[in-house]
Amino acid sequence: MIVGRITRISGPVVTARGMEGIKIRDMVRVGELGLVGEVIEVKGDLVSIQVYEETDGLRVGEPVQSEGRPFLAELGPGLLGTIYDGIQRPLEVIRDQTGVFLARGASGDPLNRSKRWHFVPTAQIGDHVAYGDVVGWVQETPAITHKIMVPEGIRGRIVAIAEGDYTVDEPIAELDTGQKLYMKQLWPIRRPRPSAQKIAPALPLITGQRIFDVFFPVPKGGSAIVPGPFGSGKTVTQQALAKWSDADIVVYIGCGERGNEMTEVLTEFPRLEDPRTGQPLMRRTVLIANTSNMPVAARETSIYMGITIAEYYRDMGYDVALMADSTSRWAEALREISGRLEEMPGEEGYPPYLASRIAEFYERAGRVICLGSPHREGSVTVIGAVSPPGGDFSEPVTQNSLRIAGAFWGLDARLAYSRHFPAINWLTSYSLYLDVLQDWYIRHLGADFLAMRRELLEILQKEDELKKIVQLVGRESLSEPDKLLLDIARTIRDDFLRQNAFHEIDAFCPLKKQYYMMQAILTFYKACQRLVGTVPYDELAKLPEWEQLSKMRYVPNEQIGSFFPKFIQELSTLSKEAVR
Ligand SMILES: Nc1ncnc2c1ncn2[C@@H]1O[C@H](COP(=O)(O)OP(=O)(O)OP(=O)(O)O)[C@@H](O)[C@H]1O
Ligand SMILES: [Mg+2]
């Protein structure tokens, strides 16, 4: 056991001496309280440690003890439905023990040690198993079967395995090598969990949010960023995705944001039902909370902790969606630590390795063939919020993130100000995934889905050009077809793209309804285009159909099939007589 002494304390960074043999990224316990820390620099005899808990009260001369291993995540049944801090202490357990939200030096086992899980083997005595092979399962929640996989470094023939109720510390199988298998395994959070093969993502993450599903989709295994200025809707967007996207598992990281936002998640999720399983949403969710009032350095780990847990469920063959709100706060933690280490600063004071850290994080997204047998495919989709100071997207965190993420959902202060939510700018946002998703859309929704998407976007682009003309010469100078186009564009913006995250029905829009809504708008547009030469446009502008279009997003899900075909039929047969 390596034990050193503190020589200097600078905020979350502590320097120690007398720790020969310690390695970078080793985990240590700092001071009499045994605060959790990690070695981030070794320079001769001096070791720099980032401490994941508040360091006030620590004194020079107090001991620093090496744990002789890197920082590890504990993986096993019981992760779902739990709320952790950045170093995987379960927040509720700690609150129970100490009466406060989080006490320093407090420890709580990440996985419950006394709970028994019913283990059902799928492997048998005599089977040869190796890293990644599934040997059995546990029903972790009613919807999620937790696969028990052979951890790295273990290989052999099973000599004992039996169905029964076990805690995560009791062996569920034994190999001829003498090695034992448990339901719990450990993984160093900074190291990506390997897979057999990365494969091209080809299935969309269905979000129930029209602007994403129709305009800027992200596949399961893709990555997207949501940059936006203060109050533009980053958190509401991330939470809507956490609630409604069709991932099997959601990992939600609240990183450096206000505590009350996390409280909203905590109080709301248990009440909400997963639209696919009817189960409380919390049962498919792992929350990692490192709010603004919690130690800065642990923001850094919260990101790695979250993605490690996401990869672990991916390895079972699940589609996992990870939301990180906000990656800017994580980058700021990097900057603060780097400053304390007196490293040479790069752009805007961020460390020169900011770009590579951001890239490494997003590169852990992907769709994979999992290691081991039986054959499994899984994915991790990463959606990172970015909070650029002053909403300036040219700053380093936004720029480095958009270089690597495949979809860019740019929030716009002007849209938010005019209460157009989600305030995603449809002209500047993009998805690079349309090519890989095209087949899926054609097969499941028909080629016209993509054709309609294109038409809507073209109308909005044309609107943008026409608006410039209107500013110069006024609306009256426009041709009748152009006036019609402007009103259709407004309908697309207000009645299709706008979506109220807090409305009982509108919060989640099934794909079929999205399809019908596009069809209704475009059918009406075509009908008006037919009439616009024969009827004055001002008459068309008064049609009651505009009003009906503005209400279609509130059509309840059970009525989609009965309402829309009839509505669209009526729109298509709009005649001159109807106008008079
Ligand atoms: N989709 C939406 N539907 C309805 N209201 C929304 C939507 N998105 C955002 N809002 C409104 O905007 C407000 C601010 O949104 P949010 O808290 O998500 O912003 P933010 O970008 O996370 O802000 P901050 O920079 O402070 O973290 C919300 O409280 C809500 O009133
Ligand atoms: Mg926010």
Inform me whether the pLDDT recorded for 97 exceeds 70: no
DSSP string, 4-73: EEEEEEETTEEEEE--TT--TTEEEEETTTTEEEEEEEEETTEEEEEESS--TT--TT-EEEEEEEE-EE
Q: Which residue's CA is the nearest one to ligand 1's atom 15?
A: 233
Residue bearing tokens 């990224």: 25
Q: Can you tell me which residue has the tokens 């990869």?
A: 311
Total tally of structural domains belonging to the chain: 4
Question: Residue 149 sits in which domain range?
Answer: 112-183
Q: Which residues contact 341 (CB under 8 A, 6 or more apart)?
A: 13, 40, 41, 48
Retrieve residue 31's tokens. 């001071």
Mutate to test the pocket of ligand 1, among 236, 238, 255, 386 (most ligand atoms within 8 A of CB): 236
Is residue 400 in contact with ligand 1, taking CB distance under 6 Å?
Answer: no
Same domain, 428 and 504: no
> For position 101, what pLDDT does the model report?
52
Which of 413, 443, 473 marks a domain boundary?
443
DSSP 452-483: HHHHHHHHHHHHHHHHHHHHHH-GGGS-HHHH
Is the CB–ligand 1 distance for residue 507 below 6 Å?
no
- Rounded to the nearest angstrom, the distance between the alpha carbon of 235 and the centre of ligand 1 is 6
143 lines ligand 1 (CB under 6 A): no
* CATH code of the domain in which 540 resides: 1.10.1140.10
Same-domain check for residues 553 and 574: yes
Whether 148 and 272 map to the same domain: the answer is: no
CATH for 358: 3.40.50.300
Report the run of H or E that residue 147 belongs to, with start and end.
strand 145-149
- Candidate from 18-22, 52-56, 155-159, 264-268 with smallest mean pLDDT: 264-268
Cβ contact 409:240 at 8 Å: no
Per DSSP, what are the bridge partners of residue 382? Answer: 223, 322
Q: Which residues pair with 187 in a beta bridge?
A: 73
Q: Are residues 308 and 379 in the same domain?
A: yes
Residue 354 domain-assigned (yes or no): yes
Specify the residue with its C-alpha closest to ligand 1, atom 9. Answer: 233
Regarding the beta carbon of 459 and ligand 1, being less than 6 Å apart is answered no
Which residues line ion ligand 2, judged by CB < 5 Å? 234-235
Provide the CATH number for the domain around residue 138: 2.40.50.100
Q: Does the beta carbon of 388 sit less than 6 angstroms from any atom of ligand 1? A: no
pLDDT digit string (tens) for 402-438?
A: 999 999 999 999 999 999 999 999 999 999 999 999 9
Same domain, 281 and 147: no
> Does 431 share its domain with 506?
no
Query: What atom in ligand 1 is closest to the CA of residue 230?
Result: 25
Q: Is 384 found in the same domain as 533? A: no
Residue 80 counted as domain residue = no
Task: Give the predicted TM-score (pTM) of the model.
Answer: 0.95
CB 154 near ligand 1, within 6 Å: no
Distance CA(197)–CA(426), nearest Å, equals 35
Cα dihedral 325, 73, 223, 40 in deg (nearest 10):
80
Same domain, residue pair 461 and 428: no
What span, in angstroms and rounded, lies between the C-alpha atoms of 420 and 469? 23
| Angstrom distance (rounded) from CA 261 to CA 384 | 16
Q: Alpha-carbon distance 46 to 34, whole Å?
A: 19
* Residue tagged 């965190």 (tokens): 397
Same domain, 25 and 65: yes
Q: Classify residue 85: in a domain, yes or no.
A: no
Confidence band, pLDDT 50/70/90 cuts, at residue 95: low
Per the document, the length of the chain is 580
Say what the pLDDT of residue 93 is: 54
Whether the CB of 230 sits within 6 Å of ligand 1? yes
Cβ(107)–Cβ(250) under 8 Å? no
Residue 580: the pLDDT is 63
- The region of weakest confidence among 157-166, 406-415, 503-512, 570-579 is 570-579
Domain boundary among 412, 428, 443: 443
Q: Where are the alpha helices (DSSP H) in 255-376?
A: 259-268, 297-315, 327-340, 354-362
Q: Mean of the pLDDT values across residues 286-290? A: 90
Classify residue 94: in a domain, yes or no: no
